[in-house]
Structure 1
C-alpha cells in the first residue's frame, strides 16, 4: 500500500514537473513572439485613441472596453484558428500573407502622409451623426475593423516566431500573446484617453505641486495625441517595410536586404553603441522601403480612378 502511494506521488510529481515545463515553454514562446510584434502593438496603441474623439467622457471607458472585447474576439475566435490551420496545412502561405499585410500598413501610412500634405481626407466627420448611440456604434465598429488588420499582423508575426513547436504549444502561446497584448494595449489606451480627466482632477486638489501636475496633464493631452498620430504612421512604415524586407529574403530576393544589413553593420562599427546604431539603421532602411512601397500603391490607386474618368 505504502509503495503504491509513493509510486503514485512520484507520478504526480512527474506530471507536475511536465506541466511546469510546458507552462515555461508556452511563456518563453509567447515572450519571443510578442517582442517581434511590438511594432504593430505601437501602431495599435497609437491608432485607437482617435475612436473616442467626439464622445462624452462618461462613455470613453465603456467604449474602450467594447473595442478591447472585439479585439480579443478577433484574435481568439477568428485569427488564431486560421493562423494555426495555415501553419499546419499551408505554411508556405504565411509569408505572402504577411507581405500583403505589410504592404497594406505601408499603404495606410503613405495615404495618411499624402492626406496631410495635400490637405484632403476621407474620414467621416463624427459631428455629422446626431444620435450618440449611432456615433458610439460607428466608432466601435470602425475601431474593431482596424484592429482586425493589426491583430492579424500581430498574430502572423507571432506565429512566424514559433517554428518547431507542437500545435498545442503554438496555440497556447498565441492565445497568451493575444490576451497579454490586448490587455496591455487597451489598458494603456484607457489611461491615455482619461489623462485629461486625471489632470483636471489633480488641478482641483490642494497643493501647488499637485495642481501644476494636473494643469500640465491637461495642456499636454493634445500634444500627446498628436505625437501618437505621428508615432503610429512611423510604426506602420517601419513594421510594414520590415515585413517586406523579411519576405524578400524568404523568396530569395536578397540584394536589397543584404545591402541594408551591410549598411547597418558598417554603421554599428563606425559609431558608439553599435547595437542601437545597427537597429536604428535597419529600422530606418525598412521604413524607407515601406514608404516607397506605400507611395507606389497610393499613386496607383489615385491614378486608376482618374484614368477611368478620362476613359468615359
Structure 2
C-alpha cells in the first residue's frame, strides 16, 4: 500500500514537471507566432487609423478603445474557442473559413484601389443620394466597419497561433493563444493610439512655453502627420491585398506549391524572395478582389432595390 501511494506521488510529480516544462515554452511559442503574423499586424496597424480620420479629435482614443476591446473579446471568446473546436472536430474546415476571410480582405483592398483610380461612382447619375447622418451614427458606422475588418485579421492570427501549438496539451494551446491575443491587441492598438494622437502632441510642443527648437519640432510633426497617415492608408491597402491573397494562395495546393517554389528559388536572397512573394500575393489579391466585386455589387444593388420596394409598400 505505501509503495503504491509513493508510486502515485511519483506519477503526479512527473506530470507536474512535464506540465511546467510545457508552460516554460509558452514565451518561445508566443514569440514565434508573433513573428509569423507580422504581415497581418502591419495590415491591422496601417488600416485602423483611417477609421478615426475626420471625426472629433476628442473621441479618437475612445473609438480606438472600443475597437480594441471588441477585437480582444472576439479573439478570446469567439475566435480562439472556435479554432480549438474546429481543430478538434472538423480540422479541414479551418482553411475554407480563412479563405473566405481572405476573399473579404481582397474585396476591401480592391474597393480602395478602385476608388483611387476611378471617379465614376462619384460622377455617375445612377449613384444613390448622399444620406445625412449624425456624428454618433458616423462613429458607430466607423467602429462597426473597423471591427468587421479586424475580425478577419484576428481570425488569421488565431489560426496561425493554433497551428503553432496544434498537437500540444490543451492547457498549453489555450495559454499561448490567449497570450498572443492579448499581446498583439495591446501592441497594435497602443501603437495606433500613438499615431492618431501624434498631431496633438505636435501642437503641444509648438506652444509658446517651449524653446524655438522644440516649437519647430512640434510644427514639423503637425505638418508631417497628414502625409504619414495618407501613406499609411496606402500601406494598409497593399497589406490587405497581400494578406488576403496569401491566405487564399496557401489554401490552394497549386498556388501554395508555386509560392514555396518561388521562395526556394530565391532562398539566397531573402529580401528579394519576401518582396516577390508579397508582390505575387498582392497582385493575386487584387484580381480576386475584382472577381468578388463582380459578384458582390449586383447582389448589393438587388438587395438595395428590394429594400426600397419594401419601404415603399
Match of 2:225 among 213, 221, 227: 221
Q: How does 1:163-182 map to 2 (within 5 A)?
A: 163-182=166-185
The Cα offsets for residues 209-268 of structure 1, whole Å up to 9 and x where unpaired, read as 21222111101111111111111111111111111221112xxxx2x4444443444445
SS at match of 1:165: coil
Give the 3 Å change call, closer, same or farther, for CA 209–287 of structure 1 in structure 2.
same
1:183 to 174, 182, 186: 186
- The 8 Å contact of residues 237 and 286 in structure 1, kept in 2 or not, is answered as yes
Of the three residues 149, 154, 164, the one matched with 1:161 is 164
- In the alignment, which residue of structure 1 is the partner of 2:308? none
Q: Identify the residue that residue 283 of structure 2 maps to in structure 1.
A: 288
Structure 2 residue aligned with 1:299: 294
Q: TM-score, normalised by structure 1?
A: 0.81
Q: 1:133 to 1:115 in 2, by over 3 A?
A: closer
Aligned residues: 289
Q: How does 1:1-312 map to 2 (within 5 A)?
A: 20-119=20-119, 120=121, 128-130=132-134, 132-204=135-207, 205-249=209-253, 254=254, 256-269=255-268, 274-302=269-297
Give 5+ residue unaligned stretches, structure 2: 1-9, 305-313
What does the per-residue CA deviation read over 1:142-201, in whole Å, with 9 as the maximum and x for residues that have no partner? 333332222222212322333221222111111011100110011001101100000111
CA deviations 1:91-132 (Å, max 9, x no partner) are 11111111111121112111211122222379x98x9333x4
Alignment partners' CA distance in 2, 1:186 and 1:308: 35
2:252 is paired with a residue whose SS is helix
SS of residue in 2 equivalent to 1:161? helix
RMSD over equivalenced CA pairs, Å = 3.1
Distance 1:15-1:241 versus aligned 2 partners, 3 A rule: same
Distance 1:32 1:62, change over 3 A: same
Change (3 A) 1:303 1:36: same
Which residue does 1:7 correspond to in 2? none
> How far apart, CA to CA, are the structure 1 residues paired with 2:167 and 2:88?
11
Evaluate the alpha carbon distance shift between residue 88 and residue 263 of structure 1 in structure 2; reply closer, same or farther with a 3 A threshold. Answer: closer
Return the alpha-carbon distance in structure 2 between the equivalents of residues 37 and 280 of structure 1. 16
- 1:26–1:170 contact (8 Å) kept in structure 2: no
Structure 2 counterpart SS, 1:28: helix
Moved more, 147-156 or 174-183: 147-156
Q: Which moved more, 1:91-100 or 1:22-31?
A: 22-31
Return closer, same or farther for 1:146/1:284 CA change in 2, 3 Å cut-off.
closer
Contact 2:103/2:244 (8 A) holds in 1? yes
Corresponding residue number in structure 2 for 1:4: none
